[in-house]
Amino acid sequence: MQAILVDGQTVPEASASGKQMARTNIERTSEELDRLVSGRRIQVIVNQTPFYGESGGQMGDSGEILGSGGLEFYVEDTQKKAGDLIVHYGVIIRGTLAVGQAVELRVDAARRDRLRANHSATHLLHQALRRTLGPHVTQKGSLVAPERLRFDFSHPKPMTSAELAAVEAEVNARVRQNSEVATRLMTPEAAVEQGALALFGEKYGEEVRVVSMGSDDGASFSTELCGGTHVRRTGDIGTFKIAGEQALASGVRRIEALTGEAALDHVAREEAILAEAAAALKVAPAELPQRVASLMEERKRLERELSETRRKLAAGGGDAAPAAKEINGVKFAARLLDDVPARELKAMADALKKQVGSGVVAIAAQDEGKASLVVGVTDDLTGRMSAVDFVRLGAEKLGGKGGGGRPDMAQAGGPDVSARQAALDAIEAALARRA
């Protein structure tokens, strides 16, 4: 055995808590030692190991290396370096580690089982995607972790809910088959001839490992070139659940999924949220979609009614609103409003223009901390004046820039809510100069 020191520091006093530390990426030194004591974070190389080194998207194993004298080395991570060299990263919890020492290596079996399940699920997922979406689907990347899996694939558009459901159902059908997962060694050319999927751009040696799983009319459902760890039978995956689908890049999509107990936990959390929402609306979970649709329709109706009421108030003025005044023969109606969205102002200005018949109208409103301004000029006056010129003057007072529209209607906004009256005054002054 060789032990290579990767930092010159000691870790906190060796204890069981040391096992919980995640791997720290520390630059390796060239120092190679014959003997190391507890409390050192190191890299260890042995002449043979059952640990899987991270590659092909599958995370490396963790576990323990035990030896005489009470040696306990916690393997935080395992990496593949310089080809097939397996390097164990971790910390000596207790005891002494020496070159040439006989040791026992123990992989964290429970974690390895979860990795196996997620890795085998990516193979089934890949084939299910190809069958559902088409043969253009190819793997663009993956992550196989103990708690989840991630699969990136080529596809030009988002998957529909029906497509996602079909893929998930296909994978679970193969899981329930509980068919044997078979591995064979052959040349890359022979593997591809027999239908095995190979990753584009991947470099393969003279001999490759071919993994087949699932049953489909007497043939394998999925056959791929792969050097990772896998379940013995597809039923060992337990269950498969897609947790999300999203865009990763142009023409590339990403699926996040879970297997086994993690998938069941995810479903339980989703059901709890569904039950909570149904209870809040006082309906059964099955009636929730219909109830939500009804509430959305009711909200739209109330928003329409509220918008109409606001327009009437703006046009009618209300008790606190100033009446239209005449400036050098041109009527000017100004309104100062609160809690009115900017999108409703143009409709209000149109209503106000109809009320004055001939003239200029201006409405300054605020909503959610932002000021909005709209100016309308009746058609008979657009040859003499433009709403765009007026709204730009008001926008300067609000701290905004520019503003745009047409001679008969223009809109702008700004951050200074307190300057709304000043904006209306600036428009009135400009009208007095032009009229």
CATH number of the domain enclosing 83 = 2.40.30
Could you tell me if residue 375 is inside a domain?
Answer: yes
CA separation, residue 352 to residues 248, 364, 432 (Å): 49, 13, 20
Among the listed residues 264, 238, 185, 202, the one whose alpha carbon sits nearest the alpha carbon of residue 57: 202
Q: Which domain holds residue 347?
A: 310-434
Same domain, 246 and 384: no
On the question of pLDDT at 13 being above 80, the answer is no
Same domain, 255 and 382: no
The upper half-sphere exposure of residue 93, i.e. CA atoms within 13 Å in the direction of its Cβ, equals 19
CB 168 within 8 A of CB 149: no
Could you tell me if residue 295 is inside a domain?
Answer: no
CATH number of the domain enclosing 192 = 3.30.980.10
CA separation, residue 411 to residues 262, 391, 401 (Å): 53, 6, 11
Same domain, 116 and 250: yes
The residue behind tokens 């606001």 is 310
CB 93 within 8 A of CB 73: yes
Could you tell me if residue 329 is inside a domain?
Answer: yes
Residues 6+ apart with CB under 8 A from 14: 38, 39, 91, 92, 93, 94
Q: Record the pTM.
A: 0.72
Over the stretch 211-267, which tens digit does the pLDDT of each residue have?
Answer: 999 988 878 999 999 889 999 999 999 999 999 999 999 999 999 999 999 999 999
Could you tell me if residue 88 is inside a domain?
Answer: yes
In whole angstroms, give the CA distance from residue 174 to residue 203.
30
Same domain, 64 and 209: no
Among the listed residues 376, 363, 364, 362, the one whose alpha carbon sits nearest the alpha carbon of residue 408: 376
Amino acid at 264: L
pLDDT at 22: 32
Could you tell me if residue 285 is inside a domain?
Answer: no
The residue behind tokens 């002449």 is 47
pLDDT at 5: 41
Share of the chain above pLDDT 90, in %: 68
Higher pLDDT, 200 or 20: 200
CB 373 within 8 A of CB 410: no
Over the stretch 53-80, which tens digit does the pLDDT of each residue have?
Answer: 998 899 999 999 999 989 999 999 999 9
Task: For strands 325-327 and 252-259, give the pairing.
Answer: unpaired
- Give the domain-ending residue among 87, 107, 127: 107
Over the stretch 86-144, which tens digit does the pLDDT of each residue have?
Answer: 999 999 999 998 888 999 999 999 999 999 999 999 999 999 999 999 999 999 999 99
Same domain, 70 and 144: no
Share of the chain above pLDDT 70, in %: 88
pLDDT at 26: 32
Same domain, 214 and 131: yes
Same domain, 32 and 151: no
Angle between the N-to-C axes of helices 260-280 and 288-316, in degrees from 0 to 180, rounded to the nearest 10: 50
pLDDT at 131: 96
Q: What is the 3-state secondary structure (H, E, C) of the chain?
A: CEEEEEEEEECCCCCHHHHHCCCCCCCCCCCEECEEECCEEEEEECCCCCCCCEECCECCCCEEEEEHHHEEEEEEEEEEECCCEEEEEEEEEECEEECCCCEEEEECHHHHHHHHHHHHHHHHHHHHHHHHHCCCCCEEEEEECCCCEEEEEECCCCCCHHHHHHHHHHHHHHHHHCCECEEEEECHHHHHHCCCECCCCCCCCCCEEEEEEEEECCEEEEEEECCCCCCCEHHHHCCEEEEEEEEEECCEEEEEEEEHHHHHHHHHHHHHHHHHHHHHCCCCHHHHHHHHHHHHHHHHHHHHHHHHHHHHHHHHCCCCCCCCEEECCEEEEEEEEECCCHHHHHHHHHHHHHHHCCEEEEEEEEECCEEEEEEEECHHHCCCCCHHHHHHHHHHHHCCCCCEEECCEEEEEECCHHHHHHHHHHHHHHHHHHC
Same domain, 146 and 246: yes
Domain count, the chain: 3
CB 205 within 8 A of CB 225: no
CATH number of the domain enclosing 428 = 3.10.310.40
Could you tell me if residue 160 is inside a domain?
Answer: yes
Same domain, 232 and 256: yes
- Give the domain-ending residue among 56, 87, 107: 107
In whole angstroms, give the CA distance from residue 282 to residue 394.
49
- Give the domain-ending residue among 250, 269, 288: 269
pLDDT band at 268; cut points 50, 70, 90: very high
In whole angstroms, give the CA distance from residue 78 to residue 300.
57
Could you tell me if residue 304 is inside a domain?
Answer: no
The mean pLDDT value for 345-363 works out to 91
Same domain, 207 and 184: yes
Could you tell me if residue 12 is inside a domain?
Answer: yes
Same domain, 214 and 335: no
Same domain, 136 and 251: yes
